[in-house]
Amino acid sequence: MADPQSVRTVLDDLRAEGDALDRLVAGLAPADWARPTPAEGWTVAHQIAHLAWTDHRALLAVGDPDGFALELATAVAHVDTHVDDGARTGARLPPEELLERWRDGRARLWAELGEQPPGVRFPWYGPPMSTGAMASGRLMESWAHGEDIADALGVSRVPTARLRHVARIAVSARDYAFAAHGRPAPAEEFRVELTAPDGSLWTYGPQDATGRVYGPALDFCLLAVRRRHRDDVDVRAEGADAQAWLSVAQAFAGPPGKGRAPREAGQARPAGEGAAG
């Protein structure tokens, strides 16, 4: 069985995640590209434009580190508007042109990452990233923005084992998440136990940890990419520090943003969102 964290496995999963989202948007009518998503001010087109924009920044980081340094300086100088500006520019394109731009960029990035030598690291908006980390980060973002699109279209996506990469990033980013919210990180590791889509168990951290987090992997990942409010997922915690983590969990770099508001009382959960067992 392939190592789920090997570079080749992550790259194959990255391609599969992109292809799955492509199938969701490829046949959309122009009016559907203009549908608003839960991200304030962003339509379906903005979501795909953002993914295309970020893939091209990743290509710059991989192929031209000096050029990426200039991009990073621009991002720092316009920290409040840089990402939105990129999405807004791409969203103005005709849907077919935007779709082709996204397809081209993600195909080129996948090929470039597959040719990198072992041990190489690339600059990024946070710490430098290995090939596997860059690929898993792009997978995480594709899945998260795909969730926004699915919500806008009123469809539910079947969770897959590719969520393992999202969960691993979220666990690894625990201390960063606390820092992003201006809070000190706990001194001790947590035990994290997640029920995978196939019913198996994904575990992280020492078995004897006093802080424990458990629940469906899907719900944990939705929480960590801030696509669901804590009240709307079946993720549980034991210990004060672990409880606090569920309020700040974040799998992506940058400001945490507003996150999702709680669902209204009586509002149904979309099919496919897990329930604690």
Mean pLDDT of the chain: 91
Q: What is the pLDDT of residues 209-242, one digit of tens each?
A: 999 999 999 999 999 999 999 999 999 999 999 9
Q: What pLDDT is recorded for position 1?
A: 40
Q: What pLDDT is recorded for position 80?
A: 84
Percent of the chain with pLDDT over 90: 85
Query: How do 129-130 and 121-122 pair as beta strands?
Result: antiparallel
Indicate whether 3 pLDDT > 90. no
Give 113's pLDDT tier (boundaries 50, 70, 90).
very high
- Please, what are the domains in the chain? 7-153 (1.20.120.450), 163-248 (3.30.1050)
Q: What is the pTM of this model?
A: 0.90
Tokens representing residue 264 in the block: 């209204």
DSSP string, 13-68: HHHHHHHHHHHHHTT--HHHHT-B-SSTT-BHHHHHHHHHHHHHHHHHHHH-HHHH
Percent of the chain with pLDDT over 70: 93
Q: What pLDDT is recorded for position 4?
A: 55
How far CA 102 is from CA of 109, 212, 259, in Å, comes to: 11, 39, 25
Indicate whether 103 pLDDT > 80. yes
